[in-house]
Structure 1
Amino acid sequence: MRDEAVDLDTLTAVVPPADAGRADTCSCGTRRTLLRHYLVTPCAGRALAKLKAAHPDEYDRYLTELRAEAITAAEAAWTRHCAGDHS
């Protein structure tokens, strides 16, 4: 079963309000932000995978354009580097 496509232009983030009464660090030393980071970080990759599945032609077009731009930038940077620009 496939998940339904989500319109990312209208998606609103769900961020719980700050609660002064909640602990930010466990007695073991683990911080709430670290746990949240581990769970939230993969969301961008999963969203991209869903977007790619929902709009493969558009994704491929963007990927081709971005790769071409990156290759052009890399060649220009390499030329400058070989000319002595090591910054």
Structure 2
Amino acid sequence: MTASHNDPGHEIIDLDRDDATVEADSPRARCSCGVRRTVLRHNAVSPCAGRAMARLKEAHPEEYGRYLRDAKAEALAEFETTWRRHLAGDHSQR
């Protein structure tokens, strides 16, 4: 099958197959209008984790709350360690 946005001779390939590979500079990775396939795919997929988390939170609020408390405690402990190192002169980004 051949068709495209502005190029009727451009071959359409299903890039969502596991065996489909596209080089970053391939014409198949960018529409003739300039939009990159990876950008559109990222925009479609990136909200999925947040949506799933919202549904999990609604279905299991106690479990979600426990995980959230644990994650925050770990993050704050790591932050305090990083901040102490920073005040001591270690300005590396870790």
Shorter-normalised TM range: 0.5 to 0.7
Q: 2:81 is paired with a residue of what secondary structure?
A: helix
Pick from 20, 25, 32: which aligns with 2:37? 32
Asked whether 1:83 is paired with 2:88, we answer yes
- Measure, in 1, the Cα distance between the counterparts of 2:91 and 2:67: 31
For residue 33 of structure 1, what is the amino acid of its counterpart?
T
- Measure, in 2, the Cα distance between the counterparts of 1:24 and 1:86: 39
- Measure, in 1, the Cα distance between the counterparts of 2:88 and 2:29: 52
Structure 2 length as normaliser, TM-score? 0.64
How many residues align? The count is 71
Pick from 51, 65, 70: which aligns with 2:75? 70
**Largest Rg, 1 or 2:** 2
Which 5+ residue runs of structure 1 have no aligned equivalent? 1-14
Which 5+ residue runs of structure 2 have no aligned equivalent? 1-14, 23-27
Q: 1:79 is paired with a residue of what secondary structure?
A: helix
What are the residue-to-residue correspondences of 1:12-23 with 2, within 5 Å? 16-17=16-17, 18=20, 23=28
What is the CA-CA distance between 1:78 and the residue it aligns to? 1.3
What is the CA-CA distance between 1:38 and the residue it aligns to? 1.0
Q: Percent identity?
A: 58
Backbone CA RMSD of aligned residues: 2.2
What is the CA-CA distance between 1:19 and the residue it aligns to? 8.5
CA pair 28-81 structure 1, distance change in 2 beyond 3 A: same
What are the residue-to-residue correspondences of 1:46-57 with 2, within 5 Å? 46-57=51-62
For residue 82 of structure 2, what is the amino acid of its counterpart?
A
- Measure, in 2, the Cα distance between the counterparts of 1:67 and 1:55: 18
